[in-house]
Structure formats: structure tokens, C-alpha cells
């Protein structure tokens, strides 16, 4: 498999964690978002949405969108499972996942930030404040929903941790005061000690700068 990724992309980070948890090997193809490589060929032919991640399978089929990719990985490699067996707990894990991936992340993603900076001509300080606001808004909810033990929902990492940890990385980049979210910090600390999360970290990627 080939993973089209950018080392700081939190969506790519999610897929890297899932691949590592599943013990699946892959080749990284770095797509530099800041340099606009996602808007150029040959990547446009790989993913017409021009976003990372994209996962090219050995069959040459290409999967896009991080959660869809992770669902696929969980189906082809069921162990370890990324969702709990209990339906109620599974719904709670998915709720945290959706808060991060659908509410928080899109508002601070590269595309919206560039639009605010380059099209609406907002200054960087204002755009960073916008990004922090939406991270803190989502984290305030997540903080009340998780119960570190040591991971967000128990003794094993789930999809919630896979989505949360990359967003914590983003939060620190944008100088969010993480002291307000001690449970999230505790989960992050537990995940950082897990080899799969360490292998997926931005600094460990071949395209890291």
C-alpha cells in the first residue's frame, strides 16, 4: 500500500495511527501541502478532491477521506478492533470521533485557513484565534465525555484516540491552553507511550521538516 500523506496533516496522522495499530506496512508518499503539491499532477489524478490522505491499495484502487480509510482497514484487519463491542460505548466513541473530525478539524484545516488569510485578507493572529476558538469549543465537550483509563474509553485505543491525538498536536501548534483539558492531556500522554502512536507522529515521518 501507498499512503499519500503530509507529516503535519492531522487527517493523515489518523490513518498512520490506524495502520500502525493494525500492523499494516505501507510506503509513504509525501504531498507537501504548504508548497501546494496537492493541487498539482500527478496527485490530482490520484485524488480529485486534492486532499490528503489517500491510500493506494495493492490493487491500484485508491481510498480517500481518513474515516472511510480507517473503516476499510478495520474491516480487512479486524484485530485489534478500533470500536468497542458494546453498542452504547461504540456510539460514544463515534460521537467523540465526529466532534473532532466533523466539527473541529474542518474549521482549522488548511483550505479554510488559506481562504481566511488570502481571500478575506484576515491577519494571521486573527485566523489563529479563530482556529483556537473552535479547537477549545470541541475540546470542552470532549473533556466532559471521556474517562481516561488510560485511553479515552478504556484500556485499549479506539477510534476516539485515533482522532483526538492528532487534534491535540494541532492544538499545541496553535497555542491552545491545554491546562484547561486535563483528561485530554492524560489520554495524550498515554497514547504517546504507545508504539503505534509514536510511529505515526509527525516528527517520525520521512517527509518531516
Q: Phi-psi category of 50—alpha, beta or left, where left has phi over 0 and alpha has psi -120 to 50?
A: left
Residue 132 φ/ψ, nearest 5 degrees? -60, -40
pLDDT of 204: 98
pLDDT of 71: 98
- pLDDT interval class at 169 (50, 70, 90): very high
pLDDT tens track for 69-94: 999 999 999 999 999 999 999 999 99
Q: Across residues 115-139, what is the average pLDDT?
A: 96
Q: How long, in residues, is the chain?
A: 209
pLDDT of 171: 98
Q: How many CB atoms lie within 10 A of CB 199?
A: 14
And the C-alpha cell for 106? 474542518
Beta bridge partners of 64: 54
Give the span between the Cα atoms of 63 and 83, in whole angstroms: 20
Query: Domain residues of the chain, as ranges?
Result: 2-80, 87-197
DSSP character for 115? I
Give the domain 87-197 fold. Glutathione S-transferase Yfyf (Class Pi); Chain A, domain 2 (1.20.1050)
pLDDT of 197: 98
The residues near 163 (Cβ < 8 Å, ≥ 6 apart) are 14, 96, 97, 100, 101
Element (H, E) at 27: strand 27-30
For every residue of 126-157, DSSP letters joined together read HHHHHHHHHHHHHHHHHHHH---SSBTTBSS-
Give the span between the Cα atoms of 8 and 170, in whole angstroms: 8
pLDDT of 63: 98
Give the domain 2-80 fold. Glutaredoxin (3.40.30)
Residue carrying the nine cell digits 505501507: 26
Q: What's the chain's average pLDDT?
A: 97
Amino acid at each position: 500500500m501507498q499512503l499519500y500523506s503530509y507529516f503535519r496533516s492531522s487527517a493523515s496522522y489518523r490513518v498512520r495511527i490506524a495502520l500502525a495499530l493494525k500492523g499494516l506496512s505501507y510506503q509513504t508518499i509525501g504531498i507537501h501541502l504548504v508548497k501546494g503539491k496537492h493541487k498539482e499532477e500527478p496527485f490530482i489524478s490520484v485524488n480529485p478532491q486534492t486532499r490528503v490522505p489517500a491510500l493506494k491499495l495493492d490493487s491500484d484502487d485508491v481510498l480517500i477521506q481518513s474515516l472511510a480509510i480507517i473503516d476499510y482497514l478495520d474491516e480487512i484487519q479486524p484485530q485489534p478492533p478500533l470500536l468497542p463491542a458494546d453498542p452504547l460505548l461504540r456510539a460514544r466513541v463515534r460521537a467523540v470521533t465526529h466532534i473532532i473530525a466533523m466539527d473541529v478539524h474542518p474549521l482549522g484545516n488548511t483550505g479554510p485557513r488559506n481562504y481566511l488569510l488570502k481571500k478575506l485578507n484576515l491577519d494571521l493572529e486573527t485566523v489563529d484565534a479563530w482556529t483556537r476558538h473552535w479547537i477549545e469549543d470541541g475540546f470542552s465537550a470532549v473533556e466532559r465525555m471521556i474517562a481516561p483509563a488510560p485511553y479515552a474509553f478504556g484500556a485499549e485505543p479506539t477510534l476516539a484516540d485515533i482522532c483526538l491525538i492528532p487534534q491535540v498536536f494541532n492544538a499545541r501548534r496553535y497555542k491552545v491552553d491545554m491546562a484547561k483539558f486535563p483528561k485530554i492531556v492524560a489520554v495524550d500522554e498515554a497514547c504517546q507511550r504507545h508504539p503505534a502512536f509514536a510511529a505515526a507522529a509527525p516528527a517520525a515521518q520521512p517527509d518531516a521538516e
